[in-house]
Amino acid sequence: MEKAREVLKDVFGFQSFRLSQEKAISRLIVDNENALVVFPTGGGKSLVYQVPGLCLDVSLQITFHVCSFIYSPIYQGLTLVISPLIALMKDQVDSLVSRGVNAASLDSTQPPERSKWIKAEVLAGKMKILYVAPERLNNEGFVNMMTQVKISLLAVDEAHSRFAVELDVERVLCLTATATPSVSADICSSFLIAKEGVFSTPVFRPNLSLRIEVAETLDEKIDRVVPLLKTRTGPSIIYVTLQKQTEEVANYLMPHGIDAMVYHAGLPSDRREKIQTAFMESKDGVVVCTIAFGMGIDKADIRQVIHLYMPKSLENYSQEVGRAGRDGVTSTCVMFLSSLDIPTLEGFCRGDTCSKQDLELWLQEVATKVPAPDGTLDFNHYKQGKDYDIRANVLGLCYAHLELDHGYIRAITPFYSFYEITPLNSSRIFSDNSQIGKVIRTYWRRKSATGKHEIDIVDAASRAGVDRADMARHISNWELDGSAEVKASQVRARYTLLKPFEKTAASIRALADEMHTRMLKQEEDSVKKLRQVIAFAIDDDCLAHNLAKHFGNEDAVPNDMCGSCTFCTTGQSVEFTLKSPTVVHPKQIQAVLDACPIRDDPRLLARMAFGVTSPRLTANKWSTSHTLFGSMVNVDFGHLVQAFDAECKKVGYQSLEVTTATPSSSKKRSQSQISSNNSNTNRFNNRGRGDSKYKRGRWN
């Protein structure tokens, strides 16, 4: 640990570690064991991997890769950090480089020259800390490069246990800002972390004043917020739920002399970056944003965090208020409760669930897929999402369910099926007379006059009778030795088949029923989390103590009273009563029915009315660009499903004709054809979504 203390002082300028940092670091570099660190936002998580990253030594070994016919060095000492936050990666890399540390990030925003230099530094053993986004683990070229590097420490803020196992990582550090005891137990189980390897810091921050306000309308909220903003002594963040609310709230604030910035995920990336930079540099800036803002923000002097609309969970709330007052100065965190907001939030809790029929059809494709010669299955998740109208996050959970609960499959490194190759050293590539080199040149096609070529390696490998993985590895080696620039696309998830699927219609239907029931339970769990926020806000208890209890820190708040929250300063809890949900209006229901001919999926109609998009809605232009999308956002989502189910039942769940425009013709097909088949297999084949012959609307 002496070296760790020297690094802390000489590189980072700190005289001592904070809280549990030293114990966690000792666990990694002295005990050589995995660890879980649960520190609140701003609690110093980054030092727990940055310091070990500079303490682990480099040593050289030599290995031989037959496929590339080159000697490749394997180095120890690299710390690999997996983070979904490009802004955070950039800030931390800039900070490390300014301290003389050789650190970098590989992300989609970098030019080819920069990426090439970073990869060369990694392979040369000179890179100490490398940041990458989770999707980089889907890149076979990156994984191939990592097999040539000994990773001494893998730092993850999400579960990537598969990657840690496949690359034989020496130590794993799991990082999270909030975790209940049950969540911590799940993480420890995945990464084999013993109880003594868990290090946590209570979420209680004595300088944060937690306040609750009750206001029904936006006008009432603005009336309360404006005086607060006018007395601010530093920057303020105002969180809303929907993207459209950011502009709406900013417009409400403007007449009061408050020029607020607007930030949400729907803005162009350059615009988001400009806003974030302006906020980081401001002395008293105000930003109205969705939860897309704040991820990776490390600004010490934020004086106010205002939840104009209620957060969806206490985990979200804790992370978001944790962005205030990181400098230790008193800061105010206000959360508004409004009955009018509850249906919207509950609707988003329920909007992910797909139809049971679509789930059954997806399972049919997965179960009947013929494995590759190596026993693996691969699928294009993007295409499946469109074909079966399953949102990306839900589809990922479906595959996880097949793996973790039923043991049918095990996720392994995905691969890309298309590669764009731009030769930089043409003589090297065109003189490559290896079998794989010849196959690549035979099946690639010239893409442009600039010398770019494109190849579908799945198709090429099948036609040439070679291994697809060998082709991908060969292309990766061209990139690594500087012979070509390579851009991969069309990712395919890959799984090892552990045991055969049961393929009968009855077994597939039973599994679909079970998974759909699980989705419905997940809905209820999400609603319960939302209700926990309400219970927290109106409980007859200190808010800080109540929050700490939720995360298992019952003794964090001295005497169970913070002295500054709404309860502590008023001596009483907030009065708040939920009102009855808005009644479903028949004319609004009919308007949606007139606009959307789908009758086989009541939930899809409910999502359109409520404003929750899906692949099928987007493809048919019934989503964000449609005037009726979100027209019933204030109605209880469950009531919408019931109302549309009643309408679909009247026509036997048979959709009206959907017109699909093509360049040469206009095709029509009635979904009544679908239900005429008796067996699950026939219904799947006749509906045609398994082989993409049938399109429900415009997919192109």
Domain boundaries, the chain: 2-200, 208-347, 409-496, 586-687
Under 8 Å between Cβ of 544 and 210: yes
- Count each helix (H run) and each strand (E run) in the chain, helices first: 28, 22
pLDDT digits 0-9 by tens, 622-650: 988 899 998 998 888 889 999 999 999 99
660 pLDDT above the threshold of 60: no
Backbone angles phi and psi of 678, in degrees to 5: -85, -45
Q: Give the pLDDT band (50/70/90) at residue 340.
A: confident
Residue 657: the pLDDT is 65
Which overall architecture, per CATH, does domain 2-200 show?
3-Layer(aba) Sandwich (3.40)
Distance between CA atoms of 562 and 549, rounded to whole angstroms?
A: 13
Under 8 Å between Cβ of 475 and 486: yes
423 pLDDT above the threshold of 60: yes
Count of CB atoms situated within 10 Å of the CB of 272? 18
Ordered DSSP codes for 450-508: TS-EEEEHHHHHHHHT--HHHHHHHHHHHHHTTSEEEEEEEEEEEEEE-SPPP-SHHHH
Residue 688: the pLDDT is 34
Torsion sign over Cα 514, 378, 140, 171 = positive
Under 8 Å between Cβ of 336 and 215: yes
Residue 235: the pLDDT is 96
Q: Give the pLDDT band (50/70/90) at residue 42.
A: low
Torsion sign over Cα 124, 129, 132, 138 = positive
Backbone angles phi and psi of 288, in degrees to 5: -100, 125
Mean pLDDT, the chain, whole residue set: 84
pLDDT, mean of residues 387-415: 89
Least confidently predicted of 84-98, 141-155, 204-218, 314-328? 84-98
Q: Give the pLDDT band (50/70/90) at residue 160.
A: low
Q: Give the CATH class of 208-347.
A: alpha beta
Count of CB atoms situated within 10 Å of the CB of 6? 13
End-to-end CA distance of the chain: 59
Under 8 Å between Cβ of 453 and 446: yes
Tokens of 635: 């109605």
Task: Kindly state the helix (H) or strand (E) to which residue 310 belongs, with its residue range.
Answer: none
Distance between CA atoms of 36 and 191, rounded to whole angstroms?
A: 9
Q: Could you tell me the CA-to-CA distances from 245 to 302, 324, 334, 398 in Å, in that order? A: 22, 22, 18, 32
pLDDT, mean of residues 304-317: 94
Under 8 Å between Cβ of 412 and 371: no
Q: Could you tell me the CA-to-CA distances from 605 to 3, 539, 585, 599, 630 in Å, in that order? A: 62, 37, 14, 8, 11
Type of residue numbered 651? V
pLDDT digits 0-9 by tens, 206-221: 999 999 999 989 999 9
610 pLDDT above the threshold of 60: yes
- Please indicate whether the domains covering 2-200 and 208-347 agree at the CATH topology level: yes
